């Protein structure tokens, strides 16, 4: 893996972000309706509406507004929310304190569930245990995560009162209460992703276990488990990493339903509220951050894949 290749990937990342910023800005700018009129009401004095438009920075050409927004964003200034009257950067940082740990815990849980299940089923092809696990995984893929959320709430919050039913006390309340509040939503997010990852990784492992180097490792005296975890799993993970990266990005961006079910003040609920209130400056900022996370995670997964399999770096050079 060369620095030249990494710089090439970084250049692609920057171009992607620039293209995304253009698309996000102009798509939202051409959306019907005027934010100043929306905020003041249709019967408001036109002069007052125009004054508010100037205060919100809605005057001038759309090109000028885009470059002003882009330069400010590069300096870490995403503007001021129309409705919250707070810096968008601060709103995003506050909500990420919930969304990022939620996504990280869900990703860790899904990986911890999927790895052993994929290894188990890949080494028991044709047996009834494989069929049962794969069928259960298929059901997990088909069932939406909010259904898991409702079941988990009914069992662990309502029936047994082991976890809080919703809300987030904040990290200032202590690590224990905060993690307790995130456990059920993380599990609800993790279960469908674990089902997907189990099936994908199992297919990759089945192909890998038939390779010559696996049989050679077994012939040299390595046990079945050592061959699986030291050699086969490493190579089977390479084609699976992009999917894992997209799963983590989905867990950050797609947790809006779970955040609503558990009443968590995360990034998903923030952008949903901003859309309903036509607070477009918040919507732009949140979407840009989400795009940044997605492309950054994809970049890191590409680097990790090349580290696991150096041949990928040579093919890309």
Residues 128-144 pLDDT 10s = 988 899 898 888 888 88
Give 2's pLDDT tier (boundaries 50, 70, 90): low
176 sits in which H/E element: helix 175-209
| Residue 112 reports pLDDT greater than 90 | yes
pLDDT score, position 113:
93
pLDDT score, position 298:
82
Q: For residue 264, what are the β-bridge partners?
A: none
Q: Which of 51-60, 117-126, 301-310 has the highest mean pLDDT?
A: 117-126
288 CA to centre of own chain: 13
Residue 213: CB atoms within 10 Å: 12
Nearest to 241 by CA among 291, 204, 210: 204
pLDDT tens track for 160-177:
888 988 889 989 889 999
| Residue 184 reports pLDDT greater than 90 | yes
pLDDT score, position 197:
92
- Rounded average pLDDT over 79-92: 86
pLDDT score, position 269:
83
- Rounded average pLDDT over 174-192: 92
Q: Are 180 and 167 in contact, with CB atoms under 8 Å apart?
A: no
Residue 290: CB atoms within 10 Å: 21
150 sits in which H/E element: helix 145-152
| Residue 183 reports pLDDT greater than 90 | yes
| Residue 316 reports pLDDT greater than 60 | no
Q: For residue 87, what are the β-bridge partners?
A: 80
Nearest to 288 by CA among 130, 70, 101, 9: 70
What are phi and psi for residue 87, nearest 5 degrees? -60, 135
Q: For residue 80, what are the β-bridge partners?
A: 87
| Residue 204 reports pLDDT greater than 80 | yes
71 compared with 311, residue with greater pLDDT: 71
What are phi and psi for residue 310, nearest 5 degrees? -60, -20
For the domain spanning 98-279, the CATH number is: 1.10.3720.10
Q: Is 162 exposed, middle or buried (0-12, 13-18, 19+ CB in 10 A)?
A: exposed
pLDDT score, position 206:
85
Cα distances (Å, whole numbers) of residue 63 to 22, 58, 163, 225: 10, 12, 50, 60
pLDDT score, position 32:
64
Domain boundaries, the chain: 98-279
Mean pLDDT, the chain, integer? 83
| Residue 145 reports pLDDT greater than 70 | yes
Helix, strand or coil, per DSSP, at residue 80: strand
């Amino acid at each position: 893996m060369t620095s030249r290749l990494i710089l090439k990937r970084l250049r692609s990342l920057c171009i992607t972000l620039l293209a995304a910023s253009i698309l996000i800005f102009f798509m939202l700018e051409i959306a019907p309706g005027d934010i100043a009129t929306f905020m003041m009401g249709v019967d408001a004095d036109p002069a007052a509406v125009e004054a508010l438009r100037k205060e919100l920075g809605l005057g001038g050409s759309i090109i000028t507004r885009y470059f002003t927004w882009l330069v400010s964003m590069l300096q870490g200034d995403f503007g001021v929310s129309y409705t919250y009257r707070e810096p968008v950067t601060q709103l995003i940082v506050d909500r990420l304190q919930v969304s990022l740990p939620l996504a990280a815990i869900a990703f860790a849980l899904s990986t911890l569930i999927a790895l052993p299940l994929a290894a188990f089923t890949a080494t028991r092809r044709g047996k009834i245990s494989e069929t049962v696990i794969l069928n259960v995984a298929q059901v997990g893929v088909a069932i939406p995560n909010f259904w898991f959320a409702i079941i988990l709430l009914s069992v662990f919050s309502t029936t047994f009162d082991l976890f809080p039913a919703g809300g987030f006390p904040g990290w200032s309340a202590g690590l224990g209460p905060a993690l307790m509040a995130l456990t059920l939503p993380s599990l609800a997010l993790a279960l469908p992703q674990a089902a997907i990852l189990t099936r994908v990784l199992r297919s990759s492992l089945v192909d890998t276990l038939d390779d010559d180097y696996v049989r050679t490792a077994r012939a040299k005296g390595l046990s079945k488990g050592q061959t699986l975890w030291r050699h086969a799993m490493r190579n089977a993970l390479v084609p699976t990493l992009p999917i894992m990266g997209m799963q983590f990005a989905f867990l950050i961006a797609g947790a809006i339903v779970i955040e609503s079910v558990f009443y968590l003040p995360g990034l998903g609920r923030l952008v949903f509220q901003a859309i309903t209130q036509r607070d477009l400056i918040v919507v732009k900022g949140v979407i840009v951050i989400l795009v940044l996370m997605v492309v950054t995670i994809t970049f890191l997964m590409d680097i990790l894949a090349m580290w696991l399999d150096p041949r990928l770096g040579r093919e890309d050079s």
